[in-house]
Amino acid sequence: MTRYHVAFLILLFAACAQTRELSGGAKDTIAPLLLSAEPPDGTVRFANDRITLRFNERVRLDRVRDRLLISPPLEKIPDVTIRAGQEVVIHLRAPLLPNTTYTFNIGDAVTDITENNPAAGLTYVVSTGNTLDSAHIAGRVIDAFTDEPEEGLMVTLHTDTDSSGFTNGRPAYFTRTDKQGVFLLRHLRQGRYLLHALEDRNANLRRDLPSERLAFADAPVIAPDSTLHTLRAFLPPAGIQQVKEATVQPDRAWRLVLARPADSLALWSIDRTGGDLAWAQEWNNTRDTVLFWPNDTTLLNGQRFALHDRSGTIDTIAYRPLRKMPFNLDAQAAGRTEDGARLIVASRPVHRIDSARISLRIDSLTVPVRLAPVDTPRRSRVEGAPSDRSSVLTLLPGAIRDIYGGTNDTLRIALGPGRPTDTGDLKVNLVVDSGAVPPGPFIFQLLNAQGTVVRTRAFATLPFRVELPSVPAGAYTLKLVQDTDDDGRWSTGSLQDRRQPERTFRLAGEVNVRAGWDVAVDWKVVPPLP
C-alpha cells in the first residue's frame, strides 16, 4: 500500500469517527451528541428486538426512511420513533440473520429540533455472532465524463457471481457517497463481492430504471481490500433507438430528439405519392437532436414518415406544423470561424446567394463582399470582412433565398467590434509516459467556462501538438477522450456487456487565454488514480 493510500484511509476513518461542532454567534450549530446506546455500540451475540439511542438534547426524525441505512439490508423496514424527546427507538420487525454484523448509519436521519443540525457520521454496529466483522472496502465515485465527484450515490456489494443481483436482487452491503464522492464500507464479512454504484432514484437498492446512472468495478473485490477503488458513473444507452420528441418549428424545421446519438438518419414517406422528399439536415454537437427541413411547402399536416438509420426503421412519425411559416427570411451574426472569419446564420436553409445585393461598410467606406456556405445549411462565411475592425453587413432584398423561395427584407448586421486583441492563439503539446495511457485514437476538446466544447481535434496517437488560432479570451479547460471505438465522440458504458465508458483525461486547473497573446501549454497526460 502506498503512502497516498494510507493517508486516504486515515482520513476516511477519521471522518467517520468525528463529531463536528460548527461555530457562529448565538445560533445553535452544534449537532446532537450520542450519550448512550442500549444495547451498547459494538455488542456481540445481539438478540434484542429494539435499539435505544439517547442524545444530549431533544431530537427529531428527518426523512428517516430514506436516510437511515442498515447494512446488510433488512427484509422489513424497522419502526423508528422518538421517546421522551431525547431517545430514538429502533424497533426491529423481524429477527436478524445469525453470525452477521449489522451497521446502522443514522447520520442525517436524526437532527436537533432547533436548527435541524444532523448527527452526521453517526453509526451503530452490532453482531449476532461472537465477533464483529472487520473487513472494509473504500474508494470514490466520479462522473465518467466530467470526472466530478458524485454525492449521494448508493455503493453496493453483492455476493452474486454475475451482475444479475444488481438489477434483480438485494445487496449484501451498501452505503452512500459523501460530497467528495468518497465511500467506505466497513464491518464486512471476509469474502468475494461485486462492487457497484447506483443512482437509486426509487430507493429500492436495485438498478431497475433506465434513468438510473451506474458504475461497476471491472473485477470482483475480495474483502479485506486495501485498494482505493475509483468507480466511474455513467448512463447506459437506451435499449433501442427511438424518437423522444418530434415538433415542427415556425420555420418548418422538424426537430427530432432521439433516445441516443445517431450517425445518420433518413425520412421515407408513407402517405405521400410522387416520390420521397429531400430534406436539409442540421445536427447538434452530441448528435442526438436533428433539424429536418422538407423541400416541399405543400406538405400536409399529419403526413406520416418512417425514420431510418443504418439498422432499419426506427419510428413512424407525423409531420404536424404548429403555425404558418413566415415568408421573410431573417439572418444574424453567428460569431467567427477558427481562423477569425465572420459568420452569419439564416433562419432557414439557404438555397441561393446574390452577392451583388450584399455590401460591407467599414467606417465610412462601403466595399463589396461575398457570402460562402460553410458547415451547416444555414451558416455562411463573410469573406472580405476584416477581423480587426467593426463593420456592418448590409443585405438588400433578395440577397439570400431559402429552399422554400422566401427572401430577406433589407438586413443590417453589425459585425463588431472585432479587435484582434479579443482573441489569442493557443498551442497545446500533449505528451505521455510510455504505457501511461492506452493507445488511441483520441479526441482533444477545449471547453469554456460553461463547460461547452468550443474546439475539438481528433488524432491517432500521442504525442500530439494542437494549434488553435483566434480563441476568444477567457478561461478554458482541456480535455482528452480516448476514442476506443473510433466514432468521433465520447461513448458511454454498458453493464450488460461489461464495458466501461471511454476514458477521459483533464488538465488540472484552467488555461487562461489572454487577448493578443500566444499561449503555449505542455500537458503531460497521466491516467487518473485507480
Q: Which of 21-35, 42-56, 483-497, 505-519 has the highest mean pLDDT?
A: 42-56
Q: What is the pLDDT of residue 5?
A: 53
Query: Is pLDDT at 1 greater than 60 in this prediction?
Result: no
CA–CA dist 469, 81 (Å, integer): 65
Half-sphere exposure of 110 (CA within 13 A, CB side): 32
Question: Whose CA is closest to 404, among 189, 250, 238?
Answer: 250
Q: Which residue has the higher pLDDT, 240 or 77?
A: 77
Query: Is pLDDT at 386 greater than 60 in this prediction?
Result: yes
Q: What is the pLDDT of residue 528?
A: 58
Work out the average pLDDT over 477-501.
Answer: 89
Confidence of residue 477 (pLDDT cuts 50, 70, 90): very high
**Sign of the dihedral through C-alpha 188, 194, 198, 203:** negative
Work out the average pLDDT over 475-490.
Answer: 90
Q: What is the pLDDT of residue 522?
A: 92
- Reported as type and span, the H/E element at residue 3 is helix 3-17
Q: Which residue has the higher pLDDT, 385 or 54?
A: 54
Q: Rounded to two decimals, what is the model's pTM?
A: 0.69
Q: Which residues contact 71 (CB under 8 A, 6 or more apart)?
A: 102, 103, 105, 171, 173, 174, 175, 185
Q: Which residues contact 57 (CB under 8 A, 6 or more apart)?
A: 32, 33, 86, 112, 113
Q: Which of 48-52, 108-112, 362-366, 448-452 has the highest mean pLDDT?
A: 48-52
Distances in Å between the alpha carbon of 283 and those of 191, 258, 291, 336? 50, 11, 6, 19
- Reported as type and span, the H/E element at residue 392 is strand 391-395
Lowest mean pLDDT among 152-161, 331-340, 488-497: 331-340
Q: Which residue has the higher pLDDT, 10 or 261?
A: 261
Confidence of residue 328 (pLDDT cuts 50, 70, 90): confident
The four Cα atoms 333, 335, 336, 341 give a dihedral, to 10 degrees, of: 20
Phi and psi at 461, nearest 5°, equal: -140, 165
Work out the average pLDDT over 339-359.
Answer: 89
Question: Whose CA is closest to 446, among 338, 355, 365?
Answer: 338
- Reported as type and span, the H/E element at residue 350 is strand 350-353
Work out the average pLDDT over 22-48.
Answer: 83
The rounded percent of the chain whose pLDDT value lies above 70 is 89
Q: Which residue has the higher pLDDT, 289 or 16?
A: 289
Grid cell of 217 as nine digits: 468495478
- Reported as type and span, the H/E element at residue 30 is none
Phi and psi at 107, nearest 5°, equal: 40, -120
CA–CA dist 146, 142 (Å, integer): 8
Lowest mean pLDDT among 8-22, 40-54, 320-334, 412-426: 8-22
**Sign of the dihedral through C-alpha 163, 165, 170, 171:** negative
Work out the average pLDDT over 327-342.
Answer: 81
Q: Which residue has the higher pLDDT, 334 or 134?
A: 134
Q: What is the pLDDT of residue 496?
A: 84
Distances in Å between the alpha carbon of 427 and those of 411, 494, 504, 513, 521? 38, 35, 20, 10, 6
Phi and psi at 187, nearest 5°, equal: 55, 50
CA–CA dist 508, 478 (Å, integer): 8
Phi and psi at 145, nearest 5°, equal: -95, -40
- Say if residues 154 and 50 touch (Cβ distance below 8 Å): no
Work out the average pLDDT over 404-418.
Answer: 85
Work out the average pLDDT over 108-127.
Answer: 88
Q: What is the pLDDT of residue 445?
A: 92
User: Partners of 499 in the beta sheet?
Assistant: 494
Q: What is the pLDDT of residue 21?
A: 43
Work out the average pLDDT over 367-385.
Answer: 88
162 burial via Cβ count (<10 Å: 0-12, 13-18, 19+):
exposed
Question: Whose CA is closest to 400, among 378, 416, 376?
Answer: 378
Q: What is the pLDDT of residues 283-292, one digit of tens each?
A: 887 788 999 9
Q: Which residues contact 273 (CB under 8 A, 6 or more apart)?
A: none
Helices then strands, counting H and E runs in the chain, come out as: 3, 42
- In the block, cell 467567427 appears at 336
CA–CA dist 400, 334 (Å, integer): 16
Chain mean pLDDT for the chain: 85
Side chain identity, residue 357: R
Grid cell of 493 as nine digits: 458504458
Grid cell of 310 as nine digits: 443504418
> What order do you get walking across the sheet with 342-346 strand by strand?
331-336, 342-346, 379-383, 370-373
Query: Is pLDDT at 236 greater than 50 in this prediction?
Result: yes
For the chain, how are helix, strand and coil distributed in percent, rounded to 5? 5, 45, 50
Side chain identity, residue 322: L
Q: Which of 78-82, 375-379, 459-463 has the highest mean pLDDT?
A: 78-82
Q: Which residues contact 109 (CB under 8 A, 6 or more apart)?
A: 61, 62, 63, 64, 67, 68, 80, 118
Q: Which residue has the higher pLDDT, 26 or 374?
A: 374
- In the block, cell 463547460 appears at 451
Q: What is the pLDDT of residues 202-225, one digit of tens each?
A: 888 888 888 899 999 999 999 998
The rounded percent of the chain whose pLDDT value lies above 90 is 41
DSSP annotation of 147 reads: -
Work out the average pLDDT over 91-104.
Answer: 94
Q: Quick one: how far is CA 377 from the chain centroid?
A: 30
Work out the average pLDDT over 48-56.
Answer: 95
Q: What is the pLDDT of residue 20?
A: 41
Q: What is the pLDDT of residue 527?
A: 64
Confidence of residue 14 (pLDDT cuts 50, 70, 90): very low
Parallel, antiparallel or unpaired: strands 135-143 and 228-233: parallel
Kindly list the structural domains of the chain, giving each domain's residue range(s) and its CATH number in brackets, ordered by start: 3-127 (2.60.40.1220), 135-233 (2.60.40.1120), 243-319 (2.60.40), 331-418 (2.60.40.1220), 422-525 (2.60.40.1120)
CA–CA dist 85, 110 (Å, integer): 12
CA–CA dist 209, 486 (Å, integer): 29
Confidence of residue 420 (pLDDT cuts 50, 70, 90): low
- Say if residues 424 and 518 touch (Cβ distance below 8 Å): yes
Q: What is the pLDDT of residues 426-469, one digit of tens each?
A: 999 998 776 666 788 999 999 988 888 888 999 998 889 999 98
Q: What is the pLDDT of residue 421?
A: 56
- Say if residues 117 and 23 touch (Cβ distance below 8 Å): no
